[in-house]
Copies of this chain bind each other. A is one copy, B any other.
């Protein structure tokens, strides 16, 4: 019997609910695939919350980041999904990364960063070009704050150069995307389970 694990998927679409979103779709597909590996989790659409600019864990006032923060801290796996605009991750995605930056100053009882032992995977959708660049930025930023990146931990889809089709409007999920979802989630679950069983040592 495998150790149960939890995940949170943060979708960084620019579109508030209830508008349909390609990022939400990919995030949901990643959560569904994780479920096959004993991981339960759910989705938060970041743009629906008031995430104040800044790099503190709570910016006060109407800041709703602490809600997302709590869910990230409680989860074993972070599924970070962003759309592509002008070849870049969304401003909402960058806001989430900035807020995670505060975790660099946080440590657990053994003096280790609070995000150690957690695994992150990246999902990127776009009409066209940008995914490798964004995966790179997400991996660097999330790794800097303490996440571990499993082998082949990114999943992306975009269309041909300068095309305008949305991922959510495809007739079906392309086979290569299905395959990448399978690999990334299988590896994420395996790795998170290993790290939950044997945490990174303290320095």
Contact = CB atoms under 8 A, between A and B. Distances in A.
Given A139-B149, A140-B87, A161-B157, A14 B132 contact: no
A86 B152 CA distance: 13
A18 interface: no
19 contacts: A16-B53, A86-B141, A91-B91, A129-B130, A130-B132, A130-B133, A132-B140, A135-B140, A136-B136, A136-B140, A143-B152, A148-B149, A148-B150, A149-B149, A151-B200, A161-B174, A186-B200, A190-B201, A194-B194
Interface class of chain A by DSSP: mixed
Interface string A178-196: 0110110011001100110
Which of the four size classes fits the interface of chain A?
35 or more
Q: How many copies does the complex hold?
A: 4
A54 interface: yes
A158 interface: yes
